[in-house]
Structure 1
Amino acid sequence: MSNSQARPLKKFLSVAVFLAVAAASLAMAGFAYHSSQEAARFKFAATVDDAMNRIESRLNLHLSLLRSTQALFKVRGREIGRTEFKAFFDALDVENNFKGLRGIGFLGIAKRGDEAQLEQDIRRIGGTEGSIYPPSELEWRTPIVLYEPLSEANISSLGYDMFTEEARRAAIEMAMTSGVPRATARIVLGENTGSAEKVPGFLVFASVDEDGSDTATGGVKPTVSGLVYVAFRTGDLFEAALGSAPLLPVHAEVFDGDASDDNLFYRSPTPPGAAYSEDFRVTRSIVLAGRPWTVRFRPTEGFSEPSSPTIPVMLGLFGLLLAGAIAMVARYQERAYNAAERLHETTEKSLLEKDLMLQEMKHRIKNSITRVLAMARQTAAHATDVNEFSTSFAARLQAMAASQDMLTRSRWQKADLGELLRIELGQVFGKDLPDDMLSGPVVLLNETTTQALGLTFHELATNALKYGEAGNTVGALKVKWRVHEEGGERRLGLTWTESGNKAISPPTRTGFGTKLIDMNITRELYGTIERDYRADGLLVQIDIPLKGLSKTRE
C-alpha cells in the first residue's frame, strides 16, 4: 500500500484509538460494578444465614416447652390439677423467655359417645361446667381440658373440641398416628372458642400415652390418653426472633408451604429497599414439626454494600478521560509523522532527522503516559470522591507540566535546580517567595531528574501548606542544597526544613504523595530520603548521586 493510499486511513487512527480505549475502560467499569454487586449478594446471603439461625433457634426453644409439658403429663397423667399446671406455667416465665408463645394446653381424647369421663375431667380439673362443644359426628372427641394462661376472657375455651376444626384435626391425627409433634397450618387463634383475643398463629400437638410411651404407630391406639399443645402468635414469634440486637437489615416473609399470598404467615413491618433488585431476593426452607415453611428475604434500606457504588463510575469517567488523552496523543503523533514524512520526501538528511525525532517522541510519550497512568491509578485509589480525585490529579499534572516546560525551553538538555524549586514552590505559596528561602549552588539537571524532583517538590510543598506553617509564616520554610563527595562519588544533598510553633506528628498511614516522593527518590534517582518529625516542625533530607546529571557551577 502506497503512502497516498495509507493517508486516509491514518485520519481515523485517533478515532479508532479513542473507541478502543473507551470500550476497554467501560468494560472494566462494568466488571467492577458486577463484582461489587456479587460481593453485596454474598454479604446479604450471610445476613440471611444469621436470620435463619435466629428463627430456627427461637422455634427450637419454644418446641422444648412442648417436650417438657409432654413429660409432665406422662408422669402425672389425670392426677395433675389446674393449680399444679398453673404453677408449672408460671415457672416458665413465658413473658420474658418465650415471646410469641400464646399458651400451653392439654386435650383429652375419647371415642364419640364416651365423653362422660372427659366431661368429669373438665369439671374436676378445669373447674367449669364440663360440657364439650360444638356437637360433632366425627369418630373422636378432643376437648381442651387444661390451658394456661387462663383468664376470664378465655375460660370459655375449656371444653372446645379441636377435632371439629379441619386444620387442627389434620395435625391431631398425624400427631396421634406418628407419635411425633405435628404443626397446623395458619389459623386464627381464639376464633372458635369465643375468646376476646383473636390473632393469627399456629398450634403444635404431641400425643401423651397412658403407659408412659410417647410413640404410636399403625393408627390411634387405646394407650393415647390425650395430647399436649402449644399455641404461637405468628407476628410476635418472628419479631422476637428477628428483632433482637443487633438488628438485621432484612425484610422477611414467611409462608406455610409455597410462597403465595394465600399462605402468608408473617411479613416484616420494615419494607425492602427500593434500590435492590430481585437478584437480592433469597429464599430458604424450614420444616417445623412435619410442616414445611418457605422464608423469603429482601434487604432493607439499612443494608450496606461492602464497596462503594461510586468506584465503577469513577473508573468509567477516568477511562473516558484517558481515552481522550491517548486519542489526542495519537493525533499529535500522526501529525508529527506526516510532517516527518514530508521532510523525508525532500532529502535523505530529513529522513534521518525524522526517524530520530519519532523515536524520541515515542519514548517521551510512552514515559509521560506511564507516569500519568501511575499517578491516576494511585490518586483514584486514595480519593474518597470524584472532586478529591480531580483536584489532586490536576495539581500533580501541573507540577509535571512545569518540569516539562523547563526542559522544553532548554531543548530537553538541562534545567536549573534553583529555578525548578522557584517554579514548583511558587505554584503553591505564590510567586513572591522570600529571598532567603532557597540557597545553594547552581546545579543543572537532566530530564529524568527534573521530572522526578519536580513532582517531589510539589508534594513536599503541598504537605507543608496543609499541615505546617509555611503558608502563613514568612521564613517558616528553608531549602538548602550542596554538592559533596562520598566514596569517590559526587552527590547532591538537599535539606528541606519546616519550622514554627506547631509540632508535626508522623502520619498514621502512608498516602500516595509520600509513596510518590519515596518512589521518585529511591527508585528513579537511586537516592535516599529521611524525615524527622520534630516538636518545632519537619526536617527532610534528600541525597542523590550526581552520576548522569549535568555538571554543577559553584
Structure 2
Amino acid sequence: MRKYFPSLIFVGVTLVSLTMAGLVYLATIEAARIKFQSVADDALNRIEGRIEFDLALLHATQAMFAAQKGNISRDEFRAFFTSLGVAKGFSGLRGIGFLRFAEASQDDAITRDLKAGYGIDRKPFPQTSLNWRAPVVLFEPMSKASLDAMGFDMATDSLRRPAIEAAMAAKGDPRGTGRVLLGQSKDGVREPGILVFARVDRPEGEGAAPAGFLYVAFRTAELFQAALGKAPLLPVAVEVFDGTRDDDSLLFRSQARPDTGYAEAFSVTRETTVAGRKWIVNFRPSTAFEPPSPRAAPLMLGLFGLVLAAAIALVARYQQRAYQVAAQLHETTEKSLLEKELMLQEMKHRIKNSIARVLAMARQTASGAKDIEEFSASFSARLQAMAASQDMLTRSRWQKADLGELLRTELGQVFGKELPEGVIAGQAVELDETTTQALGLTFHELATNALKYGDGDSSVGGLKVAWRLSGKGKGRRLLLSWTERNVNGVTKPEKVGFGTKLIDMNITRELDGRIERTYGADGLKVEIDIPYRG
C-alpha cells in the first residue's frame, strides 16, 4: 500500500486540480458572457439614442408645419431644411418630404402645386383604385432622382401605405415602414432603408382629414454606422431585423466579423420599438472582443495545481475560493440584470422628456418668430445648444457635466472662436443632468444677447463669467456672475422677449433659483443663485 501511496496522492491532487481548472473555466466563460451582455446593451442604447435624435428632426418639422397651419412653400421648406444643417448632423438621412393628402378626384390641384413649386407639369402617378391619394409635393435635398419622384403617390405602394394609414390614425405620432429599397447606389443597386411618416393636421374647423404627411427616409446602413461608429468602438457584430428574423426583413448587418471561438450562448437578442414597429437586434462578439480573464487561465491553474500536488491544504483552499467566486458571480449577474433594466427604463424616460422639450421649444419659437427664416435660425441655435448639453451628458453616461466645459462649449458655438484668457473663472464644479440642460440653454441665450448688443467684435473680450460655491451640505448653492462691458451703457428693455422668458423659466422654475439683472452705464450684470445638486 505504501508503494502506491505517492501515486494515490498524485492522482487525488491531480483530480482536485482538474476540477479547480474546470470551475475556473466555467467562471471565466460566465464572466465573459456577462461582459458581452453589457457591451450589447451599450450598443442598443447607442442605436435607440441615435434614432430618437434623428426623429427629433421630424418632430421639429411637424411643429413648424403646425405653426404654418399645414401650408408652406417650396422656398420656405428648403430654407428650413438648410438652416438645420441636416447634411452634417443627421447621418443616414436620405431626405425629408411632404405628402399632400387629397381625394383621388383632386389630381388637378396636385398638378398645380407641382407646377408652382417645381415647374413640372405632371399629374399624380400611378393610377389608383383608392378614393384618396398621398403624392410627394415637397422634398429636400432635391436631386435628379427626387425630382423624378415628385407627384409619386406613396399610398399606391403596398409597403408604404400601411405606415401612412397608421400615421393617419396615430394623430401625430410617427409610424414607420418595414424594409424598403431606396434610391440607387453607384453600381445601380438599390439600398435597404426605412421611411417614417407623421401626420400634419389642417387648421381647426377645416375637417377631420389631415393636410398631409411629413416623412423622412433613412438608409439603414448609414444610420446604424453613425450610431455604432463613434469612439470607443464596440466589439460587436450586429444584425437588425424588422419584425421577424429572415433575409427579407434584414435592415442591417455590420461588417465586423463575429468571433467563431465563442459559442452561440454568447449571442444576445434584444427587441426595441421604433416608430410603432418592433425591431429585433442580434449581437454577437466580434474578433475585437476581449474577455475579462485570459483564456489560458484554466490551463495555467491546472499546471500550477500539478506543481503543488503535495500541498493538499492549499488545493482545498483554492477549491473553497472557487465556490466563493461562483457565488459572487451569481450575485453580480442578478444585480447586473436589474441595473440594465433600470437603465433602459431611465433612457426611455429621458428620451420622452427630450422630445417634449423640443416640441415645446419649437412651438414657443414659432409663436414669437416674424417669419420662417427667423424661426429656423432661432430654433436651430437653441436645438444645437440643447444637443451640446446632451452630448456632454452622454460622454459621462448621464452622470455629471463640468460647468467650465459647458460654458466653453456654449460660448464657442455663439462667438465661433477660442475664448480669450480670463473670460471664465471658477472652481471645478460638476452639474447633474437637469442643471446641465437648463444652464446650457441659459448660457446660449445670454451669449446670443451679448453678441447682438455688445461692443461689436469685442463683445467676447468684454465678457466675464465667474462662479463659486457657498454653504455646506444640503444647503450648498452655486453663485454665478455674468458681466458684459459696454461703453455705451445698457438700459432695461421695454419688452421681454422669448429668450429672456426662457432664461427665467430655466432658473426659477426648472432649478428653483433666483436671477437678478443690473443695467448700468458700463454694461449689464446678471447674478444667478441656484441650489447646488452636484
TM-score range, shorter chain: 0.5 to 0.7
Q: Residue type matched to 1:32 in 2?
A: V
Show the 5 A alignment for 1:141-220.
Answer: 141-179=133-171, 180-190=173-183, 198-211=190-203
Secondary structure in structure 2 of the residue aligned to 1:120: helix
Q: Which residue of 2 aligns with 1:233?
A: 219
**TM-score normalized with structure 1 length:** 0.54
Distance (Å, rounded) in 1 between the aligned partners of 2:89 and 2:130: 38
Question: Cα distance, 1:371 vs. partner?
Answer: 9.6
Asked if the contact 2:92/2:218 (under 8 Å) is kept, the reply is: yes
Question: Cα distance, 1:93 vs. partner?
Answer: 1.2
Q: Residue type matched to 2:220 in 1?
A: T
Match of 1:35 among 18, 27, 30: 27
5+ residue gaps, structure 1 = 1-8, 215-220, 327-368, 375-554
Distance (Å, rounded) in 2 between the aligned partners of 1:50 and 1:175: 30
Q: Which residue of 2 aligns with 1:304?
A: 290
Question: Cα distance, 1:23 vs. partner?
Answer: 1.4
Secondary structure in structure 2 of the residue aligned to 1:58: helix
CA deviations 1:128-148 (Å, max 9, x no partner) are: 213111111122211000000
Asked if the contact 2:145/2:183 (under 8 Å) is kept, the reply is: no
Secondary structure in structure 2 of the residue aligned to 1:105: strand
CA deviations 1:143-199 (Å, max 9, x no partner) are: 0000001123320111000001111000001110122210000001138xxx98832
Match of 1:18 among 10, 13, 17: 10
Identity %: 47
Asked if the contact 1:210/1:223 (under 8 Å) is kept, the reply is: yes
Question: Cα distance, 1:16 vs. partner?
Answer: 3.3
Question: Cα distance, 1:223 vs. partner?
Answer: 3.3
Asked if the contact 1:211/1:223 (under 8 Å) is kept, the reply is: no
CA deviations 1:357-379 (Å, max 9, x no partner) are: xxxxxxxxxxxx879999xxxxx
Question: Cα distance, 1:265 vs. partner?
Answer: 0.6
Asked if the contact 2:73/2:117 (under 8 Å) is kept, the reply is: yes
Q: Work out which of the two has the higher radius of gyration on C-alpha atoms and give 1 or 2.
A: 1
Question: Cα distance, 1:12 vs. partner?
Answer: 4.5
Number of corresponding residues: 316
Q: Which residue of 1 aligns with 2:56?
A: 64
Asked if the contact 1:109/1:118 (under 8 Å) is kept, the reply is: no
Q: Residue type matched to 2:224 in 1?
A: F
Question: Cα distance, 1:11 vs. partner?
Answer: 4.9
Q: Which residue of 2 aligns with 1:84?
A: 76
Q: Which residue of 1 aligns with 2:273?
A: 287
Question: Cα distance, 1:302 vs. partner?
Answer: 1.2
Asked if the contact 1:145/1:159 (under 8 Å) is kept, the reply is: yes
- The question of 1:243 aligning with 2:235 is answered no
Q: Structure 1 residues 118, 152: closer, same or farther in 2, change over 3 A?
A: same
Q: Residue type matched to 1:198 in 2?
A: R
Asked if the contact 2:139/2:146 (under 8 Å) is kept, the reply is: no
Q: Which residue of 2 aligns with 1:135?
A: 127
Q: Which residue of 2 aligns with 1:421?
A: none
Secondary structure in structure 2 of the residue aligned to 1:203: strand
Asked if the contact 2:238/2:284 (under 8 Å) is kept, the reply is: yes
Secondary structure in structure 1 of the residue aligned to 2:215: strand
Question: Cα distance, 1:97 vs. partner?
Answer: 0.5
Secondary structure in structure 1 of the residue aligned to 2:115: helix
Distance (Å, rounded) in 2 between the aligned partners of 1:212 and 1:241: 39
Distance (Å, rounded) in 2 between the aligned partners of 1:153 and 1:176: 27
Question: Cα distance, 1:321 vs. partner?
Answer: 3.4
RMSD after superposition: 2.8
- Deviation above 3 Å: which 4+ runs of structure 1? 9-16, 195-198, 369-374
**TM-score normalized with structure 2 length:** 0.56
Secondary structure in structure 1 of the residue aligned to 2:233: coil
Asked if the contact 2:70/2:201 (under 8 Å) is kept, the reply is: no
CA deviations 1:474-498 (Å, max 9, x no partner) are: xxxxxxxxxxxxxxxxxxxxxxxxx
Larger RCO of the pair (alpha carbons < 8 Å, separation 6+): 2
Question: Cα distance, 1:17 vs. partner?
Answer: 2.7
Asked if the contact 1:75/1:212 (under 8 Å) is kept, the reply is: no
5+ residue gaps, structure 2 = 318-534
Q: Residue type matched to 2:284 in 1?
A: R
Question: Cα distance, 1:260 vs. partner?
Answer: 2.2
Question: Cα distance, 1:308 vs. partner?
Answer: 1.5
Secondary structure in structure 1 of the residue aligned to 2:159: helix
Q: Structure 1 residues 309, 79: closer, same or farther in 2, change over 3 A?
A: closer
